[in-house]
Amino acid sequence: MENALLYVIAALGISIIINIFLKKIGVSQIIGYILTGTIIVYAFDLRDAGNSHTLEMIGEFGIVFLMFTIGLEISLAKMGTMKKEIFGNGLMQVSFTTIVVYLIAHYGFAIEVKTSVIIALAFSLSSTAVVLSYLKSSKEIYKPYGQLSTGILVFQDIAVIPILILIGFLTTEGHDSLFDIVTNTLISAVMVIGLLFVVGKKLMTWLLHFSADSGVDELFMGSVLFIVVAASLLAHFMGFTYSLGAFVAGMIIAETKYHHKVEADIAPFKDLLLGTFFVVVGMKVDVAIFIDKFFLIIGIFVAVFIVKSIIMYFMLRITSTHRRSLKTALALSQVGEFSFVIFALAGMGGLLENELSQLLVLVVIFSMMVTPFFITRIGMIVEKLSGRKDVEADMSALQTIKNHVVVCGYSVVGKFVAQHLDELDAPYIVIDNSLKHVKEALNDGLEAYLGDASKKSILDAIHVENAAAVIVTLDNIDKKRLICEAILKHTKDVNLVVKVISLEDKEKLADLDINVVVDGKVEVARVLVERMITCQLKYN
């Protein structure tokens, strides 16, 4: 017990020191956690602990809580609107990548059929933990390419289930027929989803309602943890992954009024357990093999990176823009953490040789170590490749922005507002739903973003709650009202300044708690009188 506490304290201390340093140079803390795991293993000679089932279970619950928060973002209604991204693009990506990698492995490197299938399926998956952590923290999950990436990642996580079933079928040596396995799996899936959506939804809503009414934060937090773990255990008991149950539980809670409170309360647990997951990943690094096979590992990684990027780009290019397709392809070009599970099960089932399994695990680890460096620079890379400014510019720079002015609309009035703000040297950003206006603002050297300011996701991304003021310059009264309602619903602590062009407009906004309503005609009359006063009066 004393040794265990020593290892935990050492891991905490090392991770804190490393991540403080990495933060200063702008490197993801994921790298810090992986390095911590490797250092702990070699410092305390814990190489066997890296394969500890208990540690892997603890680490896996980092993915569980991450999938739960993703479920909170993707309600049933939203999944319906994202069916093209999830079931269209996701299915094509996994299928095409698997086929191409299989052909390369089997015919290019003469690897046997079963092994080639396992490698192809594992390499078709991307890193949910790394990519979605970045997309959520940078608010890019709300952008078009973030939505595309999220949809494909959700399908990949769902695809893990049949992949694991296939591995089980390949290792059973014919004891169960494929038909029986598929039938039992479908029955189990219906039972899990039925229990969670029919019975679980009522229980979850009831539990959250009474724990929230109690006014005791600990009870509410305990209820959330119980829901996540119970849903995960139910899914695992029925033969699925823990994360699938958590994902479904998140989707259910997304339909309730407790959605935002649950997401805020669960964040510390998710981040802590996700950090543990990456520490466990670091503990699996065999430095000797890594050094010996360094160039081979890099070669395999680069080959997978190029193949996945090309396949995904051309697949997405059918229905999406060049820039969006390229950003999504680059974001999902790495190998995912679920590949560990696939390689481990395949190795235990005799489908992979031990040396090959070790090599592939190191490729996955190297991929996950490189990705945090790379993914934060995708916007810059795409911008340089395209040779022009991205109208869906990287919003990660807005994470810490405060006391800024948000200018909604960059038509005639918006341009004059920006000029006056420049004269005052006030920090501001422009948000407009018109591609033409955003391009004009970018060409004028302004910080501008394409988005609908009446959408909560955009208000989250531009951190309107931290803004000093929001100036709405639009002419369309219906759109103007939608934006004002969304902002006032989002936060009451911002100065909302709205331009109106008629008495009718003012009346339509009268019931809203707007700080300042500027009537264009009244202001023109006032300025006319002010200018008259400054003139020299003429006498006969």
Three-state secondary structure of 290-340: HHHCHHHHHHHHHHHHHHHHHHHHHHHHCCCCHHHHHHHHHHCCCCCCHHH
pLDDT at residue 237, as a whole number: 79
Q: Which CATH number fits domain 400-534: 3.10.20.30, 3.40.50.720, 3.30.70.250, 3.90.190.10?
A: 3.40.50.720
The conformation of residue 499, written as its DSSP 8-state character, comes to: E
* Record: fold of 47-386: Na+/H+ antiporter like fold (1.20.1530)
User: What are the residues whose beta carbons fall under 8 Å from the beta carbon of 107, sequence distance 6 or more?
Assistant: none
**Could you tell me the two tokens for 149?**
């990436």
C-alpha to C-alpha distance for 489 and 456, rounded to whole angstroms: 9
Q: Which candidate, 196, 190, 184, 128, places its Cα nearest to that of 156?
A: 128
Q: Helices then strands (H, E): number in the chain? A: 26, 6
Q: Which candidate, 194, 196, 192, places its Cα nearest to that of 204?
A: 196
- Please report, in angstroms and rounded to a whole number, the separation of the first and last CA atoms in the chain: 103
pLDDT at residue 26, as a whole number: 63
C-alpha to C-alpha distance for 28 and 33, rounded to whole angstroms: 9
**Could you tell me the two tokens for 130?**
């790394």
Residue spans per domain, the chain: 47-386, 400-534
C-alpha to C-alpha distance for 248 and 197, rounded to whole angstroms: 8
C-alpha to C-alpha distance for 189 and 176, rounded to whole angstroms: 19
497 strand-pairing partners = 471, 516
pLDDT at residue 412, as a whole number: 87
Low-confidence ranges of the chain (pLDDT < 70): 1-4, 26-28, 47-56, 58-60, 73-78, 81, 138-139, 142-143, 165, 168-169, 171-182, 184-186, 189, 239, 241, 270, 348, 386-400, 536-540
Please answer whether residues 108 and 303 qualify as being in contact, where contact means their C-beta atoms are separated by less than 8 angstroms.
no
C-alpha to C-alpha distance for 451 and 486, rounded to whole angstroms: 14
Please answer whether residues 494 and 464 qualify as being in contact, where contact means their C-beta atoms are separated by less than 8 angstroms.
yes
**Could you tell me the two tokens for 400?**
């810490």
Please answer whether residues 139 and 431 qualify as being in contact, where contact means their C-beta atoms are separated by less than 8 angstroms.
no
Q: Is 110 left (phi over 0), alpha (psi -120 to 50) or beta?
A: left
The HSE-up count of residue 60 (CA atoms within 13 Å, CB side) is 20
pLDDT at residue 78, as a whole number: 65
Put the strands of the sheet holding 469-472 in their side by side order: 448-450, 428-432, 405-408, 469-472, 495-500, 516-519
